[in-house]
Amino acid sequence: MRYEKGRKDASRRRIMQVAAERFRSDGIAASGLAGIMSDAGLTNGAFYPHFRSKAELVRECVAETLEAQASRLQERLAEGGLEQVIAAYLSPQHRDNAAKGCTAAALLPELSREPSKARRLYAKRLLDTVRRLASALPPQTEDREGVALGFYATLIGTLQLARATKGTALSDRILTAGAEAARALVRGAQDGKPS
């Protein structure tokens, strides 16, 4: 039985939505295709008309989620600059909702073990994010990309540590300390010196 293109596109979007959430909440290795397809309301056989392999699904999910994150980042920068980025990224809500949160914070250790094509894609998207953050730094900032890299690394590392200690008072302290460290980097850039 043949289905119209719209139905096939809807099935592909559903697979990607479920897979992206499962990868971020459970990890890539722990997310089997059978579970993803079941959660998507489809049979295992329905996977292969859409993707050649799990690696291709991972790569496409990472690309799509990073693109969505880039749009949200741009909105937050427009709303309130780097302070808004810090507040949203290092919020308890973001910490507690890995399935809908930052792909990098959820998947970096696993992305480092993915095929080189996925790592190159991530590196390109990472640089795009860093450049967006750098554009929000004061113009007098020396090495804006370097400061933005440190800023983003601080956010990601803070979120990973907070998630690892979720449910403890330490987790909230980590979010607070990480936010202050990120602000110190921005203040140092505004003052024209590293903090």
Interval 56-90: pLDDT, tens = 999 999 999 989 999 999 999 999 999 999 999 99
Gap between the Cα atoms of 4 and 13, Å rounded: 15
The H or E element containing residue 145 is helix 144-164
**Cβ 100 vs Cβ 26: under 8 Å:** no
- Structure tokens of 92? 């308890």
Cβ neighbours for 120, distance < 8 A, ≥ 6 positions apart: none
- All structural domains of the chain, each given as residue ranges with its CATH number in brackets, are 59-191 (1.10.357.10)
pLDDT at 118: 87
pLDDT at 1: 44
| Number of other CB atoms surrounding residue 61 within 10 Å | 26
Among 41-50, 60-69, 156-165, top mean pLDDT goes to: 156-165
Q: Using a pLDDT cut of 90, give the percent of the chain over it.
A: 78
Regarding predicted confidence, which is higher, 103 or 5?
103
The three-point CA angle 123-129-133 to 5° equals 140
Kindly report the pTM of this predicted structure: 0.86
**Cβ 145 vs Cβ 131: under 8 Å:** yes
Tell me the one-letter amino acid at 134. Answer: A
Gap between the Cα atoms of 170 and 158, Å rounded: 12
**Cβ 60 vs Cβ 16: under 8 Å:** yes
